[in-house]
Amino acid sequence: MSHLQKFNQHSKASGFTLIELMVAIVINLVLIVAASQLYVSSTESRKVQADTLQMQENGQFALELIGRDLINAGFYPMIMQLDANRDKEGVQAATIYKHGRYSNIVSTPTQTYAAFDNGVFGCDAQMFDPLAGQYVCKSHSISSSTADTLVVNYFTADALGKNLGSRLDCNRSNVSNAPENSGRAGAGKTADIGLQPGVPLFVSNKYTLQSMTFVIEGNTITTRSLSCAGNVDTTSANPYQPIVSGIEDLQIRYGVYTNVDTFEPAQFYRADQMASVPLIVFPPTGTFKGGSLNAWARVVSVEVCLVARGLQNSKLSEANGTIGAYADCSGNSVTPTDRDTRKVFRKTFALRNNLTQTIMPKI
């Protein structure tokens, strides 16, 4: 046998047929496709988990942010002197001390602003206009928004820095510069943070939702964000500044007491229902001498409910391929038009400054 014949026989024995090559290529393609699908699925799963975690953090943070401010609602430092020129009890001598008694210093003899009469106020399905001289509920700039607005009022004598205490409003502005605090620093005591004011400084924070647009991975997402306006900027066209993104709904209910001995909330009301809640009228004789308390003065707890959403398209659906529904703050079943995750956060906060015997009626 020649050398050429031996070489041909060896080549035939060690080669692959066309069918074998085709089968090998198909198997490799299947493995590549399966690995690609596994990678895409794993990447999508991680994205969903990260987005869900961020949504939960945003919702919880927004809830606790409002709750921490509600702790201060209606507060007035117990041993600070009266401001005889601005406080309603200013008819008394300026040396008389004001023991835990909140008062409205924004209203004037010619103009009354009910939003600041008590520690809390609200607007149902509307926004609060924080511009000087307005201070009323009005329609949202986006007609589809049904978010409520919560107004939290209190006083501070804080002498701590910017990272501690309550000397700044929710926009991180020094409340010493608020219009209603003009002249309240006192002689020889500047309004700078770090020095105690001569008389307490007024703080008013308003929480609602504002529209915001994000671009994430090339996708444009329009949603709402929890926004707040303090009481320092009262001239900008829109003083509300975004704080927490991805908050789609905000609903507030106010727990009002009827028993002056227990201060237990008898019922929770929307802001637009508060005006129809009967007054508590005291006898003409006795400690309160015929005074009365309206519903806003008797709020002892506030229920905050918000809906947080993911900011990336998570493509989550039910087993049959339909988009899953969720129950909103009112208990209604809502089926979103997108596939983003959503979660409802709800918590009730006690107004500790309204749970004391220092609550005084309007006489």
Rounded to whole angstroms, the Cα distance separating 255 from 294 reads: 13
Strand partners, 209: 226
Residue 343: helix, strand or coil by DSSP? strand
Label residue 243 by pLDDT band (50, 70, 90): very high
Residue 313: helix, strand or coil by DSSP? coil
Strand partners, 269: 254
Q: Which residue has the tokens 């008394």?
A: 92
Strand partners, 6: none
Lowest-pLDDT choice from 6-10, 166-170, 330-334:
6-10
pLDDT at position 99, please? 46
Label residue 187 by pLDDT band (50, 70, 90): very low
Global model pTM greater than 0.85: no
Rounded to whole angstroms, the Cα distance separating 125 from 203 reads: 24
Summarised one tens digit per residue, pLDDT across range 195-235 is 777 778 899 999 999 988 877 667 777 788 999 999 998 88
Report phi then psi at 64, rounded to 5. Answer: -70, -30
Rounded to whole angstroms, the Cα distance separating 59 from 344 reads: 8
Summarised one tens digit per residue, pLDDT across range 32-87 is 888 777 776 666 667 777 778 888 999 999 999 999 999 999 998 865 555 554 44
Label residue 92 by pLDDT band (50, 70, 90): very low
CB 86 within 8 A of CB 201: no
pLDDT at position 247, please? 93
- Domain residue ranges in the chain: 42-354
Mean pLDDT, the chain, as a whole number? 79
Rounded to whole angstroms, the Cα distance separating 312 from 218 reads: 11
Residues 6+ apart with CB under 8 A from 79: 97, 99
